[in-house]
Amino acid sequence: MERCKWCCDDGIVQKYHDEEWGMPLHNDRKHFEFISMEVMQCGLNWTMMLNKREIFKKCFSDFDFEKISQYTESDIVEILNHDGMIKSRRKIEAIIGNAAAFRNIIQEYGSFNHYIWSFSNNESLIYLKHQQGQPETKNDLSDKISIDLKKRGFKYLGSITVYAHLQACGIINDHTPTCFMYNKLVRMGNVRYIDD
């Protein structure tokens, strides 16, 4: 079975690729989990985030954004002292602030899922130039969403981080055409090909 080359470790990264990366995601809590892990990743690598996922779940109430938005200084200190946790006060504070901003989007749009998928008209996007060997780490869509999220108070969500989220949650299908997941996702429907 052929896969995207970046994931072939026969371990945690491959499992993430096969079971999660690029699958259309429509669960608010899961969106917040991915966004929080992407915040923690800044300057680090995704394999480390996957290995620390259970620690993040313990530290951040299993990514319950309602609870996280109410965290206080004592919660921050407890997280910083948790064994194996990334010791970045700024990232921890960003996740807490992001939880409050996330809730505000839900109040406005009914769900974060509705908000984020509205940028692609509820379609999974396939950029043909990516399939032709011209990959990107950000684009006009991620720029637009990043600017909007920052206006809403989100931190650590620049265009590159937002692009990674769009790939992870299936708004952008960036599996290589030879990967078994690529055709699986195409068959799920609601796909738009972009040739620019």
Binding residues for Zn(2+): 4, 17, 175, 179
Q: Can you give the pLDDT at residue 133?
A: 81
Binding residues: 4, 17, 175, 179
Q: Can you give the pLDDT at residue 189?
A: 78
Q: Can you give the pLDDT at residue 147?
A: 98
Residue 42 contacts residue 94 (beta carbons within 8 Å): no
Mean pLDDT in each 10-residue stretch from start to end of the chain (196 residues)? 94 97 97 98 96 98 98 98 98 98 98 98 94 89 98 97 97 95 91 89
Give the C-alpha separation, 116 to 122, whole Å: 9
State the catalytic residue, choosing from 16, 127, 163, 182.
16
State the catalytic residue, choosing from 38, 71, 127, 182.
38
State the catalytic residue, choosing from 2, 20, 33, 46.
46
Q: Domain coordinates of the chain in residue numbers? A: 12-194
Q: What is the H or E stretch that residue 19 is in? A: helix 12-19
Residue 138: CA count within 13 A, CB half-sphere: 13
- Tell me whether residue 117 is one of the annotated catalytic residues: no
Q: Can you give the pLDDT at residue 14?
A: 97
CATH numeric code, 12-194 = 1.10.340.30
Tell me the pLDDT tens digit for each residue of 100-150.
999 999 999 999 999 999 999 999 999 998 888 888 999 999 999 999 999
In a 3-state reduction of DSSP, which class is residue 87? coil
Mean pLDDT of the chain: 96
For residue 135, give both structure tokens.
Answer: 């990959």
Q: Which residues pair with 126 in a beta bridge?
A: 193
- Tell me whether residue 46 is one of the annotated catalytic residues: yes
- The structure's pTM equals 0.95
- First-to-last alpha carbon distance for the chain, in angstroms, is 30
